[in-house]
Structure 1
Amino acid sequence: MKYTHIVFDVDGTLLDSEDAVLLSFQKMLFIIQGKMYPLEELRFSLGIPGEDALTRMKVEPLEDAFRMWGEYEKEFSCSIKPFKGIPSVLLQLKNNGIQMGIITSRTRDEYAAVVTAFGLDPYFEHILCAEDGHKPDPAPMLKYMELAGADQENVLYIGDSAYDCRCAHGAGVDFALALWGCRAPEGISPEYAMEKPEDVLSL
């Protein structure tokens, strides 16, 4: 078995959170800037750190805007759900002895407020958030390997964005693109492109 460790991104990979992220971003921008942006103009924010998205939209003060975005996301959280097949895939991987982790651009507080409620945390031995390093920098993946005692060739990172791919490759780790959540696969160079979560089991 080549991969004994599989690491997942969260948004767009484990969870279908697109509507909640975009609608809360749109509302926050409207409150602060007084302009209602079309959702299509805000899709760039998917899969990148929130602070990067805020900086691109020239939102100030950054800290207040980030807090508001998180609060508004809770209003739309009823639309967030695991992608079909994710819970059963995680269970099968766990039963097969695969060690799993998470690397997400969410802060620990965001993760606890939005993600933990889905009950997936027990599958993961290490959960690394924005405080552990910002993708596309390889730092969070390097930290995962250090914590897990894993070698590069035995780790696979699954995500939905170019940031995820660059994080993996920067750490010398193979990358699988989650096409079920990826909106812009152009220009991403994964080792694997997966149509559905169950495809990971074939590896």
Structure 2
Amino acid sequence: MQSYEMIVFDCDGTLVDSAVMISMLYEGYRVMYPNRSPLSYEHFIPCYFQTDEENCAYLEIPPEDKERFEDICFHQCENEMNTVKPFPGIDELLIELYRRGYALGIATSRSYAAFYELKNQLTEEAFACFSCIGVQDVVAHTKPAPDVLLYIMQKTGYSSGQLLFVGDSMNDALCAKAAAVDFVWAKWGSVTPVTLPCSYAIETPQELLTIL
């Protein structure tokens, strides 16, 4: 069995259940652009894995509309954002991995500002387990490019063979492949029916402990 030293997690759909963001974008788009041709809910699913800038390009949101669009989607729907919580067992998993001596990291397409919302979603003890954070602000290219995992390797000194990346999307899987890092498909957070290329596929967070 491969000997891993560091476990790196994607954020949305892996650590926290933030799929409500898809509905918020879907509803916000309808409010913002009532005269545009309607888009299906499925059209908004890729937004779950992209940066804010990528989403604006994908949805054809002009730069001058970006701030108002985000306000309609998110800031006017704070009750929905309050439903974003860790998946069951995530806090306990992180604490147990840290107790066993694994270094923990996060590789996300969130910005620093958006990432720190995670401090309010995980327990204080669980959040403190992370020693290296890779966000969109520190890389030239976001996932599926390998930049964020390469950044973590550069910062920590671990090799690709010492990392294990846990994620829920095709972008995560392709990022891991490009960085030559083994990938764990976190099936508890998947929002699409696509089968992901992976070294391991697990149904619950606790199952990760069985492959280490």
Same fold (TM over 0.5): yes
1:192–1:65 CA distance, 2 compared to 1 (3 A): farther
Code of the residue aligned with 1:33 in structure 2: it is Y
1:72–1:91 CA distance, 2 compared to 1 (3 A): same
TM-score computed with the length of structure 1 as normaliser: 0.89
Q: Which moved more, 1:179-188 or 1:91-100?
A: 179-188
Identity in percent: 28
Q: How many residues end up aligned between the 2 structures?
A: 201
Task: Name the counterpart of 2:137.
Answer: 131
C-alpha distance in structure 2 between counterparts of 1:176 and 1:66, whole Å: 34
Q: CA deviation at 1:65?
A: 5.4
Uncovered stretches (5+) of structure 2, i.e. residues with no partner:
none
Task: Name the counterpart of 1:7.
Answer: 8
1:70–1:146 CA distance, 2 compared to 1 (3 A): farther
Q: 2:95 aligns with which of 73, 85, 91?
A: 91
Larger Rg: 2
Code of the residue aligned with 1:24 in structure 2: it is M
Is residue 146–residue 179 contact of structure 2 (8 Å, CA) maintained in 1?
A: yes
Q: 1:176 aligns with which of 177, 184, 198?
A: 184
TM-score computed with the length of structure 2 as normaliser: 0.86
1:145–1:85 CA distance, 2 compared to 1 (3 A): same
Q: Which runs of 4+ in 1 moved over 3 A?
A: 35-41, 72-75
Task: Name the counterpart of 2:166.
Answer: 158
C-alpha distance in structure 1 between counterparts of 2:159 and 2:18, whole Å: 31
C-alpha distance in structure 2 between counterparts of 1:33 and 1:14, whole Å: 32
Specify the SS of the correspondent of 1:189.
coil
1:185–1:132 CA distance, 2 compared to 1 (3 A): farther
C-alpha distance in structure 1 between counterparts of 2:103 and 2:158, whole Å: 10
C-alpha distance in structure 2 between counterparts of 1:40 and 1:157, whole Å: 26
1:22–1:186 CA distance, 2 compared to 1 (3 A): closer
C-alpha distance in structure 2 between counterparts of 1:199 and 1:47, whole Å: 24
Uncovered stretches (5+) of structure 1, i.e. residues with no partner:
none
C-alpha distance in structure 1 between counterparts of 2:183 and 2:43, whole Å: 27
Q: CA deviation at 1:31?
A: 3.5
C-alpha distance in structure 1 between counterparts of 2:23 and 2:171, whole Å: 22
Q: 2:111 aligns with which of 101, 107, 110?
A: 107
Q: 1:149 aligns with which of 149, 157, 163?
A: 157
